[in-house]
Structure 1
């Protein structure tokens, strides 16, 4: 199956301007890290390229890594990976670390949100889809690389380093047996989340659960508002374009020379303003919209790890219930004078006591780990939002300053109408 629409139209080996800017930012951040002497792993996803033909075609991405960590064989290296490889990596990390209380950065969605960014041809829409996916894959890998444990995981290092095609991940296919089972499991998990309510004894978790729910709701609202802002800016660009064309047509039939020249100049300025509106809409999407979408997904990952703690608690309580039953059975056997069965019951009691002890230990461990992970999440969230707000404001100011320059240059032409 194809992993993205209209693969025939995907441009090959043509990095966009956004990729170029990302590389410059990456280079700058890496220089800072080198100066500080900290260990780091920085990943850039570039050069989406079509592999194969027909129904078996897919898009592969160049994953370029820079690091100073001794666990890696080289400091700079690159590999080619397809989208299903990213999903396979995420599944492996979830299987390994979710049960321990780690917050696993979510993998990009298979079907990404489609915001009509401009009235482009079919080829442009396909290239836009691939670019959005490329950017989301890059953010996913860097979030994983920033985690102190996940960054040194053998599967993650193999994903970045192994210069061979990874074994095909059958679990990522929706039509595979594993995919169907995963769908059933998700339905079961959803039902379990709704039906089972844990009697929370830790005030921290009670407060944090409510905070996560509120954060999720507000982030979704803000994400929706930014999406509407992007669409309105695009509408404004279209209307500005229409105004420019009308002004140009009017200038052609205007007999008054200076007025005709002013209208012609006005049309040119409005065309430039249209381009600015489009650029600002694209910046709103790339800077704000995508960050918010990432954090909505991260909140989902936090909810998953919170629910994993509930599952551990369920297992612990089940073991406690079974231990109580075995103790009752043992007492009955002793009272009925059946030593053989009583001995067997004693063995079972010891086994279930060990299970209860392990269950409580696992519950205590996952609770401690979640608190540690949440502390890290909060610190990163503040840092991410600070960087994004500054970036967004600087971008907005740049566009506004350019807009002022356009109108200041046109003003003498308007005053010259006589």
Structure 2
């Protein structure tokens, strides 16, 4: 593409992206979008962009029995981003829970039972595969149309040189006639080349919708990953509650065998019960966050379905219309050449009759 065409296409893509943001029910009215649109100059980058920091910031804090430290995090902090390397212990806890659920043959205390969501998730995975194939074929089509335009342009240039040669070397009327016809072919080929280039621009404009929706799938994967992480957090807390309750039962059984009770064990039981209360609060917060994510997934998937139908319909209509319009323009050009060179057919017919 020419540089101006590239810039124009990127500008159009950016405008479509900003319209998507503005139409989003949560992003549209947000302060972040307003600041981005109104701020002059470059926006400052986050202070930390390394992979390790981003990974740690994605982990949430759990009560001390998950962290192995004495400090107790507030229950609502279970669903908040982590701040330091100590939260690696939470990652290990949840990794252990994930392994137990996947390979231990033990059913987790809470599982994903939203059949509608699971069906949509599978359909979206299939849709992504189809999008990938269609996107690759669209790139091949654009390359083929570009090659056709370049080849047609080269053909036009060759006939222009041929016309010049025939004109300069013409000694007979037949040479001059051939030169005129060569010029008609050259003109039609150049026009067809320009039409192919313009058609390619329109093809990229409409079929770029495939690339856009393929990019949206990255956000879909992130949303599904957040949901799975939230569920894993709940599973880890519920599993830990079961472990704490089991420890209390063992301590109470051991204390009951001692006459008058074992004060150290009973004191430990009270500490564990306090831990259970904190963990229960954390579990409630984690469940609320999980339900919030589920509801957000439901509304976003519905919105994605509507946008996909509208975008695909607009893409198909625009693509088909542009293909038909430019094909008609190219055909008209060659039909004009056929009309201009029709004298050859008449002369050939006369020569054939004379031979008989």
TM range (shorter): 0.7 to 0.9
Distance in 2, matches of 1:276 and 1:389, equals 20
Q: 1:131 offset after TM fit, Å? A: 4.0
Partner of 1:168: 44
RMSD between superposed Cα atoms in Å: 2.8
Output the CA distance in 1 between the equivalents of 2:274 and 2:321: 70
Alpha carbons of structure 1 residues 131 and 350: separation in structure 2 relative to 1, 3 Å: same
Contact kept, 8 Å, 2:27 with 2:33, in 1: the verdict is yes
CA distance in 1, matches of 2:54, 2:162: 60
Report the counterpart of residue 327 of structure 1 in structure 2.
Answer: 245
Find the counterpart in structure 2 of residue 215 from structure 1.
127
Paired residues of 2:152 and 2:192 also in contact (CA < 8 A): yes
Q: 2:322 aligned to 383, 392, 395, which one?
A: 395
Alpha-carbon separation, structure 2, partners of 1:282 and 1:165: 31
| 2:198 aligned with 1:286 | no
SS in 1 for 2:315: helix
In the aligned structure 1, how far is the partner of 2:215 from the partner of 2:56? 19
State the partner residue of 2:177: 258
Match status 1:342 vs 2:269? yes
Q: CA deviation at 1:181?
A: 3.2
In the alignment, does 2:136 pair up with 1:224? yes
- 1:182–1:232: structure 2 CA closer, same or farther, 3 Å change rule? farther
TM-score using structure 1 length: 0.62
Equivalent runs, 1:266-305 vs 2, <5 Å: 266-288=185-207, 290-305=208-223
- Which one has a larger percent helix, Structure 1 or Structure 2? 2
Structure 1 residue 409 and structure 2 residue 336: aligned? Answer: yes
Query: Does structure 1 residue 313 correspond to structure 2 residue 231?
Result: yes
Q: Is the 8 A contact 2:36 2:43 kept in 1?
A: no
Q: TM-score, normalised by structure 2?
A: 0.72
Q: Is the contact made by 1:251 and 1:264 (CA closer than 8 Å) also made in structure 2?
A: yes
- Deviation per residue, 1:41-72 (Å, 9 max, x gap): xxxxxxxxxxxxxxxxxxxxxxxxxxxxxxxx
**Which of 1 and 2 has greater Rg?**
2
Seen in structure 2, the aligned counterparts of structure 1 residues 239 and 393 have a Cα distance that, compared at 3 Å, is same
| More displaced stretch, 290-299 vs 203-212 | 203-212
Deviation at 1:185, TM superposition (A): 6.9
Equivalent positions of 1:83-162 (< 5 A) are 117=1, 124=3, 127=4, 130-162=7-39
Unaligned runs of 5+ in 1: 1-116, 172-176
With 302-311 and 256-265 compared, the bigger mean Cα shift is at 256-265
How far did residue 236 of structure 1 move?
Answer: 0.8
Q: CA deviation at 1:331?
A: 2.4
**Shift of residue 364, structure 1, vs aligned partner:** 2.4
Distance 1:404-1:133 versus aligned 2 partners, 3 A rule: closer
Secondary structure at the aligned position of 1:151 is classed as coil
User: Residue by residue, what CA displacement relative to the aligned partner does 1:113-144 show, whole Å, maximum 9, x if unpaired?
Assistant: xxxx3xx5xxx3xx555444433322221111
Contact (CA 8 Å) 1:316, 1:359: kept in 2 or not? yes
Aligned residue-pair number: 285
